[in-house]
Chain A
């Protein structure tokens, strides 16, 4: 594969330049840089480029600005090659010691501008200190998930005087003192994320607001802040984005008594703030005329909240997920806002056809509408939506079971711009699907749990939606190889496909899908007809494959694993429970250098020794799910060793269950649960 690409590249380069003894030497560095600028789509292209010649190799190394290494142990070598890296993303390195951070600091020094450490929790404040000492141009640092980081780490971040963006979500041990150090020493701070920093209180946040006047974006979600720090935040002159998700200490009184609004605020997220109601929402909207985005998901009942809205607001997007929204409320919202573009009513109770009709009649520019689980809306709503919102791009109607083929026909006829459509668990049939195929711009189509659809409808989609990137056919049991091969033929850009529990799917589908070179996610859970032959075809031709779920594909055996080991160098995540894989297959799998998440339950052919060998071999693992019965047979020393590399073990105790549940029964059960 690589050879082929390289050959192509070479041919192309040769064609573009005049033939000479060393044609590549004739190209100046500027030209090579321009070429490299255009090679961003596929990481392998750059790899091939650098293999052309020594000078190309060097030029590629000098050109590269951002790096996402897979293995921390190779960092010194990689960084000595790429010594002008300015953006380093270490999220894929589960184990980062202070020593590796210190070597990064000394190798990159002042050229480093941004670093992301959010995937690891094994470094301490010393590592950050070494970064602070040597990389004095650092502008962005992400230490999220550093649950063991203390105030000293925050103080070390504070020493990076040029830092502008700091993300430290879930740093639970950081207190106001550490935040205070950042506040005082980083006057240029523009973005700060304190999500889930439960040690931070009003004092720290207020100090941030007092000292960091350039702050544009502040995330204080899931902290213990109360009204005491709000006046200080409200005074920030440049604050545009404020996220207060799950701040239970924020109540109505805090917001209503706020004397002045947030002057420049554009986006406000108050989802899960359960102590706010009508009064505060009105007062916020009235004090912040420039507010564009408002998120009130899962707040207390929004019903009364919206009915009291008066005035004219510039809101573009509003999210009311999980709230109780009445028709009156939606009317009031429709009358108060000038032009809504995005509206999310996901899981809202009380949404009726009338409510939807009022909204869409007033806001014809609606681009995105989410009506997930609004179970009472019918074709009337769809008639209103389709007649007024011609520019609708995204529509989600999961579990809107009362909508019939008439409604789907309207979607297909009147929404040509539709790109994302979610009709999971609806009454969709082939006729509906055929009319949906008129939406030729579809990139994402989710039609899982639609038991009525068959190949007939899917063939229409495959023929007329060439841009489709994501297709979800979960438990749509009417689908067979015929439909999927038409999709594979028509939608060559397909990246994600889920065919779990489509029991009629066989190797034939996979052979066709292997033509979709961009495929990176494949879920065929419970497709018992699929064998190693089909999956090997995918492995051989879809080199971008990174997520694979082949649970309960009983026919898949070691042969498939061997082809993964040979071809799928990008495989990150695999679930092979119940497959007929033995020690051979498991150890073959372990040789994939970037494999991170593996679920291996009920592998009949796998022994404890084989598992141990595989665990030892696969250095990049971050998470392994195993059956608890293996635990006594794996030496604790080995477990410690693997865990010290940053891997987490999850020991599950799921019963062995071969029988697949019929999808009809499954759907009936899920509906019964809803009715109850």
Chain B
């Protein structure tokens, strides 16, 4: 690994930790994004869901307090960081964050309102199905708890004085800027710091109930669910959301960070973490650490299991960014408008997507190819029957997305799947019926739509505008739909698997 030392942005020779802390905090206030300099890629996810993180973070914190060390709980740790860093700047409160918190609260209250309303509306039905009523009630309880927590955290951010005393009293909290700081401490601290209500055991009980509830995760409670999905670092699909494009949002002045450039071989190596004893390779350090436990008790200590380089002293890591080894690439440090990549994972995905062959072909449409297997998996989720297509060739994973698109642009019509007319004619109609009935019965479906739409939105925007998709171009003319002008079509460059199919038929 070649290392290029740039000018570090922060004075490493700061005398006291407290001073250092203040500097960093003021910096982070002006440039909120730049405080996320950890290698953890999930800050991206939290940026997409700024209003959801605090809830997650607090409930998880409680979770940790309760020592419910399930695997899934552990997996949320990285997200705690991001939620902490973006949502609760330690010294001052961010009005944007506050606003988003409040709007989240509003949305949440509406949800509960509609939920309770639906219970009232369908009381007659529930009399025959008591279990469903119980489920709804549980949901309402869960939502209310969520609201309370959010309210507390919002209120907490409005109490900077208390926070300051806390900071000065608790030396451990001075490390807040360090993203790898032990989350337990901080969360605990914050919660203790809250008004009496926060410590009310009732809420803790509620939280505990929430976490213990076996079917809670399965409930169609949208924000929580989506949180879980997105924060799950084990799933590589979500890792790729920290796309190379996202780094463009931060505007680090050149030279304020260290630029690392990995070699091609390093990038393409399947594993980056190797066991020093047996040599087994892992994609993630966490997995390696888990593996190490098998080699003896000395690896089971908390210190060994903690993330490396977490020692309080070494918190002053210089900001590190990565360069693509491909000469001429915008992500290459020699490029005039060099835009660095944030994490090693970004480097890997960028390099594979931009400079490697697309070796993974979709097994359903046999048309789309990908170089990152996670991209293929994402595509396969939506490929085939559930594909909604516009006459301009743009495809959508959801019908409402397609209709939103059609409503927006003049002359675009929904395209009919020629070879699937029969299937969609009968089957689809039924699906829609049930979906819609569900929607009007309990509002669950509609809320679910809202959140999952956001999730998909990320996928889609990436999919449509990334250069990956320029494979099956052409054949639009054969489609020949009346009243539709190709030249006016802003998506005319988008390939169209459908148009090829229609040409064949």
Contact = CB atoms under 8 A, between A and B. Distances in A.
Contact of B429 (A173, A202, A228, A275): A173
Contact of B414 (A173, A181, A251, A275): A181
B72 to A, nearest CB: 34
B446 A228 contact: yes
Interface string A45-76: 00000000000000000000000000000000
B16 interface: no
Interface in B56-70: none
Nearest to B388: A177
Contacts of B403: 176, 180, 203-204, 206-207
A114 interface: no
Interface in A202-228: 202-204, 206-207, 210-211, 224-228
Given A150-B425, A176-B432, A226-B439, A211 B407 contact: yes
B270 interface: no
Interface in B391-448: 399-400, 403, 406-407, 411-416, 421-422, 424-426, 428-429, 432-433, 435-437, 439-440, 446
B424 A253 contact: no
Given A180-B403, A251-B440, A175 B483 contact: no
Given A224-B436, A249-B436, A203 B400 contact: yes
A476 to B, nearest CB: 45
A150 B403 CA distance: 19
Interface in A178-236: 178, 180-181, 183-185, 198-199, 201-204, 206-207, 210-211, 224-228
Given A175-B432, A184-B406, A227 B416 contact: no
A177 B432 CA distance: 12
Interface stretch (A151-159, A489-497, A597-605): A151-159
Contacts of B439: 226, 228
A152 B121 contact: no
Given A158-B413, A224-B433, A151 B440 contact: no
Nearest to A160: B482
A177 B412 contact: no
Nearest to B398: A203
Contacts, number: 92
A183 B436 CA distance: 21
Q: Which of A180, A207, A249 has the most CB of B within 10 A?
A: A180
Contact of A201 (B414, B426, B436): B436
Contact of B440 (A159, A173, A180, A227): A227
A175 B429 contact: yes
Contacts of B117: 253
B421 A202 contact: no
Interface string B436-474: 110110000010000000000000000000000000000
B436 A152 contact: no
Contacts of A202: 436
A152 B440 CA distance: 29
Contacts of B407: 206-207, 210-211
A224 B437 contact: yes
Tell me if B's interface is mostly helix, strand, loop or mixed: helix
Q: Which of B400, B435, B482 has the most CB of A within 10 A?
A: B482
A207 B390 CA distance: 14
A198 B406 contact: no
Contacts of B446: 228
A180 B428 CA distance: 15
A180 B406 contact: yes
B440 A226 contact: yes
A249 B438 CA distance: 10
B413 A185 contact: yes
A557 B299 CA distance: 106
Contacts of A475: none
A199 B440 CA distance: 16
Contact of B432 (A180, A185, A201, A253): A201
A504 to B, nearest CB: 53
Interface string B111-129: 0001001000100000000
Size category, A interface: 35 or more
Nearest to B121: A251
B421 A172 contact: no
A185 B411 CA distance: 7
Given A155-B416, A184-B406, A199 B425 contact: yes
A249 B426 contact: no
Contacts of B435: 201
Contact of A173 (B399, B415, B426, B437): B426
A177 B436 contact: no
A177 B387 CA distance: 12
Nearest to A180: B414
A173 B423 CA distance: 10
A184 B406 CA distance: 8
Contacts of A206: 403, 407
B413 A152 contact: no
B421 A151 contact: yes
B413 A150 contact: no
Contacts of A151: 416, 421, 424-425
Contact of A224 (B425, B432, B483): B432
Contacts of A225: 436
Contacts of B483: 161, 184-185
Contacts of B426: 173
Contact of B413 (A181, A249, A253): A181
Contact of B421 (A152, A176, A203): A152
Contact of A175 (B422, B424, B437, B440): B424
B121 A173 contact: no
B406 A199 contact: no
Contacts of B114: 253
A173 B422 CA distance: 9
A159 B403 CA distance: 19
Contacts of B428: 175, 199
A183 B407 CA distance: 9
A201 B446 CA distance: 14
A159 B482 contact: yes
Contacts of A159: 482
Contacts of B411: 184
Nearest to A203: B403
Interface string A407-428: 0000000000000000000000
A234 B97 CA distance: 35
A207 B406 contact: yes
Interface string B257-281: 0000000000000000000000000
Interface in B336-355: none
A532 to B, nearest CB: 51
Contact of B416 (A178, A199, A207): A178
A172 B429 contact: yes
Nearest to B118: A253
A184 B483 CA distance: 9
A527 to B, nearest CB: 49
Nearest to B446: A228
A173 B425 contact: yes
A556 B260 CA distance: 105
B107 to A, nearest CB: 15
Contacts of B429: 172-173, 175, 198-199
A183 B403 CA distance: 11
Contacts of B482: 159, 161, 185
A203 B415 CA distance: 15
Task: Kindly list the 5 A-B residue pairs having the minimum CB-CB distance in the complex, ordered from nearest.
Answer: A199-B429, A180-B414, A203-B403, A173-B425, A226-B440
29 contacts: A150-B422, A150-B425, A158-B413, A161-B482, A161-B483, A175-B432, A176-B414, A177-B414, A177-B416, A183-B406, A185-B413, A185-B482, A202-B436, A203-B400, A204-B403, A206-B403, A206-B407, A210-B407, A224-B436, A226-B436, A226-B439, A227-B440, A228-B439, A249-B436, A251-B121, A251-B440, A253-B114, A253-B121, A275-B121
Given A150-B422, A180-B414, 15 more contacts: A155-B416, A159-B482, A173-B426, A173-B429, A175-B424, A177-B415, A181-B413, A183-B406, A199-B428, A204-B403, A207-B406, A211-B407, A226-B440, A228-B439, A275-B121
